[in-house]
Structure formats: structure tokens, C-alpha cells
Structure 1
Amino acid sequence: MQDKHMLMIPGPTPVPESVLLAMAKHPIGHRSGDFSQIIGEITENLKWLHQTQNDVLMLTASGTGAMEAGIINFLSAGDRVLVGNNGKFGERWGKISRAFGLEVEEITAEWGKPLDPEAFKTKLEADTDKSIKAVIITHSETSTGVLNDLQTINSYVKAHGEALIMVDAVTSLGAVNVPMDEWGLDMVASGSQKGYMIPPGLGFVAVGSKAWKAYETATLPKFYLDLGAYKKATDKSSSPFTPPVNLMYGLQVALEMMKAEGLEAMFTRHQRLTQATRAAVKGLGLSPFAADEVASYAVTAVMPSTVEAEAIRSTMKKEFDIALAGGQDHLKGKIFRIGHLGFVSERDVLTAIAALEATLQKLGHQGATSGAGIAAASQVFKS
């Protein structure tokens, strides 16, 4: 049926109707007083979302662009950095860092496993000459459904005293607590198509005072992604270059919705969706790829053993018009991923689980009692 497509992937995520309607308005001049008021309101609400009094800057870019902006604004060629790599996106930050001539040391974990905070502690404590300039962490590793222990790793960075903590919060911001000021995070990058509940196209970089001090001596070339220019403009409720006006209409409404729900309620909702999804997956005789105690609140990865992951995805799309995400790199064809991030409700999870059960039955899966997935999810939701 036309127009019944349902996104259950970790991005892009579903967009509320009120946000879509806001984006359908005629654009106005991005140098006008009216648009300046919109920028000012958005900026204040972004600070609320990041739990910070520091700068939160908007870029016309993806989350990857936001992270690259963080690297080139606060570091110089030859700088030594520690990069956590336990999935596709941790791996990507290593590649970006090398592309700009940084001296990269990776702390790795098997895909599906969390980074070991003690490995960071060991490296940082051994750095007596303070040559490590930054520690770069993917908080929620979207490729595997793992939530890394940012708080503990950050405590070791703070004990080091010199290194910046640079965080990819692309699929954690808005889903799990990331209190920038309380934890003293120096740079937090995110993207619009995740917890923000709007389409792709905007990247966000939150910058603390320690990072701004590093900006003063950073020598990597930059122009369009020069965050100093964005700060100067944002302080005047403006932008250094032409912004995506209609996306920002949508962002204005989405942030209002998030404030109305409240931070704690958002975090609790994502936690319940995660718990219900994982319980349902187990009820259907499948196994989540990551352990419960390190589960991402954005996405649940599943490695089926009795049917092919891609057969599940294609059948879900063909029969129910529900999109699930696949595996990446060596996990391609081995796992599928269920997104439950942003504008996702209990009804959405129940719908997806019911369709998943029908799909498994159609493909000959014999590992579950009929209705077990819905029963397991409902048990979580009624508590």
C-alpha cells in the first residue's frame, strides 16, 4: 500500500507529522530578523538538550561532517590521539584522523563487545609527558548495538588532565543521558536524522571551554567547517553560510516536542523500547548481538541462526513495508538491526515485532511459540 513505509532503522528515523508540516512552509531569508529569532530559540533548546551552558553549533552536514569539524578545529597534524574502535563508526573516526595526519592509536574490541575503559586508563596513565592530545569515542556504536562506557572512560581522560574527550553521540544524544557540563565533555558531535527526529542534513557540534583553548593553537586547514566562524555567527543568532532554512523549521518544532516530553521521560522511553525489543527478540528464539548490560538505546542488532538475515530484511520490506537495517562490513548478511530511536513509540515496536514473527514463520523458523515476541514486549510495557 502506498505511503505506508515504516522506518525501523537507526537513521534516518521517523519524522513527526508536525515537523514535516513545518518543513513544508515557504522559506524566508536566512539573514532576516525573523529567522534570527528562530536561530536564537533553536540554539537555546540545543543547549538544553546537551545539558550545557557552552556553545552548540549547527552545520549543514551529516554526523560525520560534525565529527570531522571537531577533529580539524581542535587538533594539529602529528597530534597523538587515542581512538576507540569496536565497530564501523569507531573505525571511521580512525580513518578520518589519519586522513588529517594525526598519530592514531586504536583501542579495539571485538564487534559486538564494548570498549574496555581500563585499556584507556592504562594508556593515559602511561602518558607521563602528556603527548596524548585527544581521546575519541563513539558512545553508541550503531553498527553493532553497543553502548560504550563513556562516563568511565571520560573520568580517566579527566585524570590525565591534558587530553580532550571528543564524543560521537550521533545515536546516543536524545536517547540516553549525555550531560555535557556535568561530565566535562569537550566536544560532542551529533546528526539530525537520529534522535532529533528530522531528516538528514544538519550536524551539531557542542564545544566546551577546553576545546576552544585548543582551537587557538590548532593548525589543520579549515574554512567551511571553521567552528570559530560558526560561534561568532551563532552568538549573534545568525549563521556564517546559507543554512537549510526548512530543516531548521523542522528542528524548531522537534526541539519543542522534546522539551515537552522532558529529558528523563525521553531517556526512560528509549530504555523501555530497548528492553521490550530485546525481550521480544529472545521470545522469538533469536539472540541479540550485544549483551543486555551494554545495549544501545538506539538500535538492537540480531544475529539469526536458523534463517538468513537478508531474507528477514527483504521479506519484512516486501510483505509489510517495514525497513530494518543490515549488517556492515564483515557482518553484512549476518545480522539485522532494529532501530528504536527518536520518534518511535511502543506501538511501533509491537507492530515491528508482530511483522517479524510473521516473517520468521514464513521463512520456516521453528524457534518460538506463536505470539511469544509480542507477549515478551507487552510484559515490559505493562510494568
Structure 2
Amino acid sequence: MLRKQYLMIPGPTMVPERILRAMVREMLNHRGPEFAKILTSVTEGVKKCFKTKNDLFIIPSSGTGGMEAAAVNVLSEGDDVLVLNIGAFGSRWTKILKAFHANVDEIKFERGKSADVETVEKKLKSKKYSVVFFQQNETSTGVLNDVKSLAEVIKKYDALVVVDAVSGLLTADLRTDEWGIDVVVAASQKAFMLPPGLSFVSFSKKAWDYYANSKMPKFYWDFKSMKDWADKGQNPFTPPVSLYYGLEESIKMLEEEGMENVFERHKKLRDITRTGLKKLGLKLLSSDAAASCAVTAVFPPENINADDLRKKIKEKYGVVSAGGQEDLKGKIFRIGHLGYCSETDIMVSLDAISKCL
């Protein structure tokens, strides 16, 4: 008998049957009026999730593609930029920016800790930066940044604020316009409950001013081209039409639940997960104050390799967890609790872990 799989990683997440069914429809002309109606509708729906009235682009790509698009549309070679690195995806910002020859400074915070506002302000006082890049939620460590406070201090020094919210959006409140965030990146395979394949990027008026002076090479990622095509209800290039069907259904489900209820659901799942793991005597990487609502990083018992434990949990009980990244590889494992995830999924996972310790 085939064992049910519990996909408890922080993305791709499980996809509801409603969305799967919505995606199984015949293709249509991506240059026709039917697709234009869908594109316009889902763009407005995603804007509500971002809490923004800024321009927003739906791009056929991974979340990392959205990150690269955000970078190349606001920078020129040699620009001074700052990365607030609290984990592997902070490191990804640095790698992207260095690949395009930006002048990158980085503040590396202790793994399991959020970015400290006072430390950031001290760095901003020491040098003029064009753009500051950071994560809302660091997937590799299960840490949630205080985006509002960070954006507030960055704006004091007139730098552009760029936030990777790929795993954080919809799991915790993010008020793009109210908090003055210039560029926000998200993706389909997290709390939007979709398969991978779409990234979402919001772009402020100030970001457009940066675009006007940007000299980084761009073709596929060019936001001016995307905007010109979007005004006609089209993508510049052939889109994955089925994912747009799914996104349409995802937005309906989120609206039916209500945004505040979505946040509360994620907080509840986080708290159940953390409480359960602590009761098993396991140490968590992040503090309660900085705990992610999307994923929890946990240390295995002493003398047990985290990846060996993950393998055992999967083989015996069908629970799929994520491993550690960078210097945490083999030292932690991660339980995702975002998107289409229920209390039952969490309880099954905790029970499986307890039986494999």
C-alpha cells in the first residue's frame, strides 16, 4: 500500500485540490482577451496580498528569478549596496549582487537571530548606500525580521528598501505601502499554495526613479517591457497559463478565509509546532520573539545527524522535512508550516519525530 506523503518543507508546499482542479483546464491564447482578463484580475489580487497600489509584476520564474529581477532593475555596476544577512537567502542576495558587479557590503548576523536595527543604523551612518536588501523571513533558519522597523531606519538614510518576502508573505503581515517598502519579492510555491513557477515583484515610484538610472543588463527581467505588455493584458513572453488558473483560485481561497485569519492560522501552526518540539526535548534555532510563522528550524538530539533523522522520519512515516543549509547542513532540520497545512499535518509530523528519536 502506498503511504501518504506529508510534505512538511517550507516550499514547494502542498497544493489544495481546488487549485489542482482549477489548473486542469484547456489552454487559451495568451495574447487574447480571455487571458488578459485573468492577468488583470490576478494582478489586482496579488496586490491586495502585498497591501500595495504600486506596480506589480507576475513573472514566470522561481523566487530567485524575482530577486535577480529586483536587483537588475534598480542598480548599475559599482553601486554601493548593503545586504542584511541572517541566513542562506541573505547570502543569495549577496551572490546575485556580486554577479552583476555591485559593490556589496554585508552585515552577517548570528544564525537564528534577526537583523538588529541598531547595528543596521550604525552601518548606514558609516557609508552612503544606494539600496539595502534583506529578507522578511529567512527560510534557512526559521527567523522573522522586523520589516517595519528595518524599513523605517533605512528610509532615514534615503536608501531604497528591497525585501525578499518569498517565504514570509501571507504568513506574517507585510504592509508594503504603509511601511514604505520600495520593492517586494514573493513566489507562488509558498503560502500562495501553488506549484513553483511564478514570482511576484512590487515596484514603487521611487524604484522607477532608480530604474531610470539603472545600467545593469536586462532583457527577460526588464520591468519597463513587462509594464508595457501588462498594460495590454499580456506578458512579454509565453506564460505558464495553468499557473495563472491556479493563482486565480488561490486568491479566491485567500479572500474567502480573510487576510487576518490567514495570518492567525500561520501563527497558530507555528505555536503548535514549537510547543510540540520543545515537549520532545528538542532545541530550536530561533527564539520565540524572532520565530518564523512559515518554518521552524530544530536541532536533533546530541550525537544524531539531522539528515539521518530526516531520512528515518520519511522512510518510516512519510513525513518529508527540510535539511540545514550552508554551515547548518547536517546540524538542523526544518519543519514547514505554511500554505495548505493543517493542525493534523503538524500533529502527524510531531508524532513521527517522537517515534524516531
- Assess same fold via TM > 0.5: yes
| Aligned counterpart, 1:247 | 243
Q: Which amino acid aligns with 2:281?
A: G
| Separation of aligned partners in 2, 1:4 and 1:227 | 42
**Cα 1:314–1:245, aligned 2, differ >3 Å: closer, same or farther?**
same
* Aligned match for 1:341, one of 333, 338, 342: 338
Taking the aligned partners of 1:218 and 1:36, their CA distance within structure 2 comes to 29
- Paired with 2:290 and 2:232, the residues of 1 have a C-alpha distance of 41
In structure 1, runs of 5+ residues without a counterpart are 361-383
Q: Tell me the equivalent position of 1:302.
A: 298
1:329 corresponds to which letter in structure 2?
Answer: E
Quick one: which amino acid aligns to residue 282 of structure 1? K
Partner of 1:98: 98
**Count of aligned residue pairs for this structure pair:** 356
SS at match of 1:188: strand
Q: Deviations over 1:178-235 (max 9, x none)?
A: 1101001000011111111001111111111110111111000100010111112222
1:301 and 1:242 mapped to 2: Cα distance? Answer: 38
Residue 174 in structure 1 maps to residue 191 in structure 2: no
Q: Which residue of 2 aligns with 1:220?
A: 216
Q: Partners in 2 of 1:60 and 1:292 — Cα distance? A: 35
Q: Match for 1:203 among 199, 203, 219?
A: 199
Q: Which residue of 2 is the match for residue 287 of structure 1?
A: 283
- Given the alignment of the two structures, is residue 30 of structure 1 paired with residue 30 of structure 2, yes or no? yes
Matches within 5 A, 1:1-383: 1-2=1-2, 4-127=4-127, 131-161=128-158, 163-306=159-302, 307-360=304-357
* Partner secondary structure for residue 178 of structure 1: coil
Q: Counterparts of 1:273 and 1:228 in 2: how far apart (Å)?
A: 40
Secondary structure, aligned partner of 1:105: strand
Partner deviation per Cα, 1:44-71 (whole Å, 9 max, x = no partner): 1011100011111011111100010010
TM-score (norm 2): 0.97
Cα distance in 2 between the residues matched to 1:28 and 1:63? 25
CA distance in structure 1 between the aligned counterparts of 2:195 and 2:2, rounded to whole angstroms: 20
Residues in 1 aligned to 2:31 and 2:68: alpha-carbon distance in whole angstroms:
27
Check 1:3–1:24 CA distance in 2 against 1; reply closer, same or farther (3 A cut). farther
Describe the SS at the equivalent of 2:321. Answer: strand
What's the offset of the Cα at 1:114? 1.5
What secondary structure is seen at the aligned counterpart in 1 of 2:289?
helix
Give me the whole-angstrom Cα distance separating, in 2, the residues matched to 1:72 and 1:3.
45
Kindly provide the amino acid, as one letter, of the partner of residue 164 in structure 1: L
Shift of 1:133: 0.4
Over aligned residues, Cα RMSD in angstroms?
Answer: 1.1
Identity, in percent, stands at: 46
2-structure distance, mates of 1:173, 1:234? 23
For residue 14 of structure 1, give the secondary structure of its aligned residue in structure 2: coil
Distance apart, 1:3 and its partner CA:
6.5
Match of 1:374 in 2: none
Change (3 A) 1:313 1:155: same
Higher deviation after alignment, 169-178 or 1-10: 1-10
